[in-house]
Structure 1
């Protein structure tokens, strides 16, 4: 008897990353009598664990990579189907998958994430880091490398240049300072000395268990699986789910040299040209320039400098992974190529929702919130989308979740705790802002953004313990004019001051 090729579910979620898994879990737990399907191209799913609500809007959590059977065991009404989506027929409420399934849904949520915005897709010496497979490939290549070039100035680049040891790193950033997506030039100057110092010893084991395809029981750390069969997602050239926070923990990021980490930053420059070894030798002969060393690949930057290296890391962000959902459908697509969603995470197609990196928040934002395609926002959007889908089925009204009232993100860079609140970089304020800064070298960096006497944003680097107090001051929209001189006074316990 032939296998059944048509299936029907009340809720279908596409994507095994943080947004998709969170959405599916929310639906399965809120509506235990409804059939929920989670479609994922990868064999493993990403699940949030050790969740901690730090304050009203700040959240901390780890990400575990798990076999899908763990989810199915936890939620009897949840079915995980491992297959890539090849087509969506939104008017017919039908999805087609690579393994030949036709899936009918009542409500659909697209959580297909983003794909790396690679410098080039056809050069074997250019590597992007997005999912577990690419992180493993990076670890493997790095172990034999003496020099790498990192292009990009986002979160992955910031983490990577600090973690790599035993290998020279040339870091090309297009801005005047590192990490300008997350903080200003002052904070960048505070962090730069960390690139020249030895990293503190860290526990050898990873705080999250990671799994390979071959050993679902799991091992500590990240194992490179041998003789691994290519997954359907890799055959389709589709990335797996995003890595999530602290992706580098438990991975040995050491190159072939004995040195600690050595990073050279090239500011205000971008990639101009990539040369093979043969191309570069010919170029050198034509220009009568002596080549003193030989590398597998060479780069030319827009500042005129040329470097040879073992390979190039393209850490230049992601683009919404909207394929293959657009074909034959009438989605409203935002300028940044994301699926535009309203304040209930609904797209322009009937009964189709979207959450995480694939979508663009199309509602009128709070003046203290902005979308940044971070794993914290992927979790929030996935959770809220699940609530909205269930509310629609139950004919219940639902308000925009409070997490969209204030932008807040907590992470670690260069071994420092980093908290970002509100308009932390004065986004959109122009000259109508005042900055208060407190900096103690090697210990903390605190910046407050004020406008018309009210706190609109903050950057906190180090163990400042100010996040909850500053969050309250931002949300309360309190006029701080009488207190501005005392806000960052280290001799005053600001928490008690405004208690």
Structure 2
């Protein structure tokens, strides 16, 4: 992947771009989308619906694309949908003016309005949308025993390694890490996180305490019917792979582990997780480097030093943490987030790149290059956001951005005005961890609110956890864990900005049917 260096001035405002650019006479050009994940496929489908007579080309690194199915608008900002992995023919059948080409993008000539692929093909465009997603941010790329999990192929690789594993070290505190520590059985798990509580990306310390018993307890096999928003796969990465590497497919979401066997080598080990808090990986060591280091490896809690010594020099890889603890393991899962896949688009172009490596886009999904748009994990929203919205590289926002980008591309081509989509008025994401439905709304962790806010909490051990963030008497965000059925009511209260001061703590009184009260 190319170096994500910033092009242009940091913080530079993206100037409005011209609505249309003329192509050379005789050239066949239309809409071109790069990326076969949620953002790219949603963009193609929306373009086909809005502009059924124009040619649309979707360039995908994978022969399979990620298609949204069973879409349903739940609230004003919340959506429900499933994602299926389909062949390219399914999209072309549903959208006759869409042509799907399996190809890796090599470079882009923004002056000529042309995209070049690794196999030598040229694709001219009138409007281009980059939806290449992100790639795992590995703690090291130099050790074959360190893997990332991003798409179906990497899950297969993980499953193969896990089948013969006695111990795994998981690094990271996001969604993939949370799923792994809950699902893995038959294997010791050492979980290294840089925070003082688990799930810091999604939860506060109180919610983390609610989940802690599930780290050591057996998995709940009860399959409850969940009224929840299902997000699974996102955008595909089509960066040109380095020698010996392959391009990655669409990212994984909360349902990625369904149907996969997450069992290690030790049948007698059910569910064993040890958490190392407030630490990061200092160094990943080979067995030879470990022997030269001369430091004793830690034994897994619950095992004796004698038992550990029997295998102390038998691990293929060792992890030295910043808290000076050293663990041997069969392999390491690096689940420390993703970096935007901008590689082939930063050569000989004038893209403005945000500090996080994403392509800067304005409130019409324009990049800083005329007629080039971006959506999903590859982009960074650079407009002034609504008070209760912020960007978070999630499957839900990939779909929303892809759909909105298509609307903007057609409006710009036709010289029409378009308002910012309502989905950018409120952050809303629903997922599932530890077999609980999780709903996150607005500034759910009081992000950016300073100290001038208050929290209302309701917790029933093992059943539900509800947190409301208030500022000046108005709801700014909420965390709902469990089947609370409060999400639509809270969504409306946040959007409407109703003064809730008169209700005080009664707002979360379980004896009051708040849903009917504010209906």
Aligned equivalent of 1:315: 335
Match of 2:458 in 1: 438
Contact 2:105 2:240 (8 Å CA) reproduced: no
User: Among 279, 294, 303, which residue is 1:269 paired with?
Assistant: 279
Post-superposition shift, 1:140? 0.8
Q: Secondary structure at the match of 2:126?
A: strand
Which residues of 2 match residues 229-378 of structure 1 at below 5 A?
235-258=244-267, 259-284=269-294, 291-293=309-311, 294-378=314-398
Give the distance between the partners of 2:495 and 2:483, measured in 1 at CA.
22
Q: Which of the pair has the greater relative contact order for Cα pairs under 8 Å at 6+ separation?
A: 2
- Aligned partners of 1:41 and 1:232 also within 8 Å: no
Determine which of 493, 502, 505 is the counterpart of 1:485. Answer: 505
Asked if 1:396 corresponds to 2:416, the answer is yes
Residues 307-331 of structure 1, C-alpha deviations (whole Å, 9 max, x = no match): 1100000000001110110110001
The answer to whether structure 1 residue 91 and structure 2 residue 111 are counterparts is yes
Measure how far apart 1:52 and its partner are.
2.4
Cα deviation, 1:232-265, whole Å, max 9, x if unaligned, reads 8685543222123411111111111112221111
Asked whether the 8 Å contact 1:455–1:473 carries over to 2, the reply is: yes
Partner SS for 1:399: coil
* 1:8–1:168 Cα change, 3 Å: farther
Q: Aligned-pair distance for 1:44? A: 1.1
TM-score (normalizing by structure 2): 0.87
Rounded to whole Å, the distance in 2 between the matches of 1:37 and 1:406 is: 32
- How far has the Cα of 1:194 moved from its partner? 1.2
Give the Cα separation in 2 of the matches to 1:409 and 1:103: 36
Give distance in 1, aligned partners of 2:241 and 2:293: 38
1:49 aligns with 2:69: yes
3-state SS of paired residue (1:324)? helix
List structure 1 segments (4+ residues) > 6 angstroms apart after TM superposition: none
Partner of 2:506, secondary structure, is coil
Distance 2:491 2:322 in 1: 41
Q: Give the structure 2 partner of residue 228 of structure 1.
A: none
Q: Does the 8 A contact of 1:345 with 1:354 survive in 2?
A: yes
C-alpha distance in 1, partners of 2:387/2:295? 57
Residue in structure 2 matched with residue 451 of structure 1 by the alignment: 471
Checking the alignment, whether the CA contact within 8 Å between 1:320 and 1:358 is kept in structure 2 is yes
Question: Any conservation in 1 of the 2:193–2:280 contact (CA below 8 Å)?
Answer: yes
Contact 2:240 2:344 in 1 (8 A): no
1:395 CA displacement: 2.2
Question: Does the 8 A contact of 1:41 with 1:233 survive in 2?
Answer: no
Q: Which residue of 1 aligns with 2:226?
A: none
**Alignment match, 2:236:** none
Q: CA deviation at 1:63?
A: 1.6
Structure 1 position 120, deviation (Å): 0.8
- The 1-side partners of 2:360 and 2:441 are apart by 24
Q: Where in structure 2 are there 5+ consecutive unaligned residues? A: 1-25, 224-229, 233-238, 298-304
Q: Does 1:143 align with 2:163?
A: yes
Residues in 1 aligned to 2:247 and 2:81: alpha-carbon distance in whole angstroms: 26
Query: Any idea what SS the aligned residue of 2:40 has?
Result: helix
Aligned residues: 469
The question of whether the paired residues in 2 share the 8 Å contact of 1:245 and 1:375 is answered with no
**TM-score, with length taken from structure 1:** 0.91
Q: Secondary structure at the match of 2:393?
A: coil
State the alpha-carbon separation in 2 of the partners of residues 279 and 291 from structure 1.
Answer: 18
For the structure 1 residues 115 and 286, does the alpha-carbon distance in structure 2 shift closer, same or farther, using more than 3 Å as the test? closer
How far is 1:9 from its partner? 3.2
